[in-house]
Each structure stands twice: as structure tokens, then as C-alpha cells.
Chain A
Amino acid sequence: MQTLKLLAAIALAVLVHFIGMSFFPSLGRFVDVFLVLVALYGLRGGSLSGLLVGLLVGLLRDSLSSGPFGLFGFADTIVGYVTARLAQRLVIQRPTGVLAVVSFASVLQQAVVIGLAFLLLPAPESPSPLEAAIRAGACGLLGMAVYVVGGHWRRTSEARRRGRMSRLRLG
């Protein structure tokens, strides 16, 4: 069931990325939906599953970009692991905590990708600090929004389920 949920989440992230890019071609510059998914999964799961999901999602992201295959795979593996470890050490209950962690994950991913690009590419381009900050903030906001909506949806479905159970008992 967990695997199915994860696959559905990946499919949804891919769909959101494609739809967003087709309507707003600059979206990819400022928001990384794949990173948000990895960071949110890292917040919920263990460090092993975090790093494996990071690897999988990063490689998927790599198959869409023209850079060396494995660039985002490497970065997202680290992001998945670090986020999961952070979640084990910190108690994140407020949406603002999620915003901070996802923003940090975005900064970490950009730093790893730029570092690798300088090692592997002939003339890499590093984004301006402002652009990197906007990207981190936008990813954080998206992560927070998904967290809030997901939490609301979970609570609603839980309440519905309880209601159904109590009706069954009364009947």
C-alpha cells in the first residue's frame, strides 16, 4: 500500500511538473516539484526509504534534463537522506517547520548540483543567490501547501471513516 501511494505521488508530481511547464515555461527555474516530493517523503519516512526515493525521483528528473544522467539522482539521494535524518531529530508539527525544511532541502540540492556541475561540465552556470533564494522559498511554500492540504485531507477522511464506523455500530 505504501509503495502504491509512493508511485501515485510520483505520478502526480510528474503530472504537476508537465502541466506547470506547459502553461508557465519558466516554472522549472523557480520550483522543483520533484524536490518537494523527496523532501516531504523524507519528513515522513525513514532515512533508508528517504535516500532510495531521492535516488528514484532524481533519476526520473535526470531523464528530462540534458545534463549528465545521475546529476539530480546524486543530489536528491543526499536530500532524501538528510531530510529524513532531520525529521528524526527535530519535531516538526507546524507548517512553518515544513517550509523551513523544504527550503533547506532546496538549498542543499542546488549546492550539490552546482558542485557536481563544476566537476563534470565544461562551463557550468551557477544561479544568482537571489534566484537560489527565490527557488528555495517557492519550494518551501509549495511543500508547506502540500503538507497543509494533505493534513486536512487525512483528517477529513479519518473523520468520515470514524463516522461510518459509529453508524455501523449503532445499526
Chain B
Amino acid sequence: MDERRTGWVLIVVLVGQLVFLAIQGARAGETRLEAIGLRLLGPMARGVAAVPRSFSGFREDVKLRDSLLAENRTLKSEVEELRLRLLRLSDVESEMLRLGAALRYPTPPAGRIRTVDIVYADYTSWLRSLVLYTGGEPARVDQPVLSPGGLVGRVITVAGPYAKVQLITDRAASVGAMILRTRRQGVARGGGRGGGLELDYVPLQADVRPGDRVLTAGIDGVYPRGIPIGTIVSVQQGGQLFHRIQLAPAVDFGSLDQVYLLDYQAVPKGVTEAAPGANP
């Protein structure tokens, strides 16, 4: 093919991709091509991820053999403490349910949690993502992803047993958030160098201090309320109306090797599928 025709092919391919990107931006959903790519690369990522895990597992077994007894003792006492705490909390929960019933307040359903493995992680480039292996039970788009430390992100693409996660530190991610001390709401967004977060739309008159903990507010239709997002590290006067708030994420993303998928649907399926303006 001569260069003139190749030039035309290039233009057609580029324009096609731009149109594809524009459509995708308007629809904001996963694409079939993306799922195919993930399906192709997922098994390779899983195979590669298994090697260092088993290697480091063996190395740790050898290194930690002596300290296992001590660790076991510590863990046993921790389990005892946690059992006591659970007893107290179940007491609080039953009281909360009783009061809620008296006030006719509908308690939000608690979601089921399951553990899944991370097979690929990219925390450092500016488009931060994880690929998970979910096994026989596939994930769902927009499913919240957690770690023991707090919120990790949400599932954006599902391809069979593999799922791609958008981290909360991603530039394009945003989470409905609230400051625990004052219940002031805002929007936590990925931003800042080094994987930090920003809390937007908190007015200047709001009481905000470094050290305040920030949780999910449960207002974005994706995440339930009360999951730790991070801690405020700095508060500056931003534009004319809002504070400029930097957060340190609650999760140390670099040390994750397993995460939890939360089976939670903030808005019932019937409501999301209902046509706007349709009669109930």
C-alpha cells in the first residue's frame, strides 16, 4: 500500500478512535473490547502474581518460624479482645435496631463481604488501577472494593473471573464523603502527587481541622456510609467559597495483596432501571 493510502488509513483509525472515546465518555460504562483485553491479560497476570507470592510465602515461612509462637499468643489475645468488642457492638446494634424500629427508620442493609486476590496492580502511574481474580462468582460493575484499612475503589470492568478496579486515588474517581467529627459532607477526589486525595466542596465557614477522619457519606449511589477514606493532612483557604483540603488515604495501597468485594447495592435495581417519569 502506498504512503498516501496509509495516511488515509491513519486518519480513519484516529478519527474512529476519537469517536469511540467520545461515545464512551458519554455512556460512561465498560466496553466489550476492554473486557476482551482483560480476559486475555488476566490469566497471564494471575500466573505471574502467583510466583512472587509463593516465593515470598516460602521465605517468610523460613524467616518467621521462630516468631510464630509469639505471634500466635498475640493473635489469641487480640481475638479475645475482638470477641468482647463484638459482644458489646452486637448489644449496640440490637439497641439501634430497636430504636430504629420505634422511629420507623429503615436500616440500610449490611452487605456480604468476600475476599479476592489482586493479580495486577499499578499504583504509581497517574491512571491507577487494580486487576482482581474473583473466581467462580464474578464481580459487578460499581461494586465497592475495601481493605481492612478502608476504601480501595470500585469495580469498573468485569471480564469473567477478572475485574478491573478504579482506585479512589485515580484522577477520575470521586466519592461522596463526610468528616466524621462534624458530619460535614463533601466530595473526595483522587489528586495530588504521591497518591493523595482531595476533599472538595467543603465551604469556608465549615469547621475542618488536620487530623479529622473522613468516611464515605453514602450519598453517591455506589458506596455505603461509614467506610474510612482517609485523614485530613492540610487545610488551606481555596477559592472564594471552599476550603482546599488534602487527605492521606486510609489504605496503604502499596501493601495490598488481597481486598474485599462488598455485595452492596445502594440504589435498588428496580429504581435504577425505571424509566424517568414512569408511573410507579
Contacts and interface: CB of A to CB of B under 8 A. Distances in A.
Interface of A: 11, 14-15, 18-19, 21-23, 25-26, 28-29, 46-48, 51, 55, 59-60, 62-71, 73-74, 77-78, 81, 116, 120-125, 127
Contacts of B126: 124-125, 127
Given A66-B129, A69-B31, A120 B37 contact: no
A65 B24 contact: no
Given A60-B41, A121-B172, A122-B172, A66 B121 contact: no
A22 B33 contact: no
Given A15-B48, A18-B48, A25-B124, A66 B21 contact: no
Contacts of B224: none
A18 B44 contact: yes
B41 A74 contact: no
Q: Interface residues of A: mostly helix, strand, loop or mixed?
A: helix
Interface string B29-46: 001011011101100110
* Residue of A19, A59, A65 ringed by the most chain B CB atoms within 10 A: A65
Contacts of B51: 22
A64 B172 contact: no
B229 interface: no
Contact of A70 (B10, B21, B156, B166): B21
Contact of A122 (B44, B164, B171): B171
Contacts of B129: 64-66
A3 B1 CA distance: 18
B14 interface: yes
A64 B44 contact: no
B239 interface: no
A47 B20 CA distance: 23
Interface residues of B, number: 51
Contact of A71 (B3, B21, B49, B193): B21
B1 A48 contact: yes
A73 B17 contact: yes
Contacts of A66: 127-129, 156, 164-167, 170, 172
B257 to A, nearest CB: 10
Contacts of B17: 55, 70, 73-74, 77
B20 A18 contact: no
A158 B244 CA distance: 64
A20 B121 CA distance: 11
Given A66-B170, A74-B18, A121-B171, A22 B49 contact: yes
* Residue of A29, A69, A123, A127 ringed by the most chain B CB atoms within 10 A: A69
A47 B3 contact: yes
Given A18-B45, A25-B124, A65-B122, A70 B171 contact: no
Given A11-B44, A48-B1, 6 more contacts: A22-B52, A47-B6, A51-B9, A64-B129, A65-B125, A123-B191
Given A51-B9, A63-B38, A70-B24, A124 B121 contact: no
B188 to A, nearest CB: 13
Nearest to B166: A66
B48 A22 contact: yes
Contact of B41 (A55, A63, A81): A63
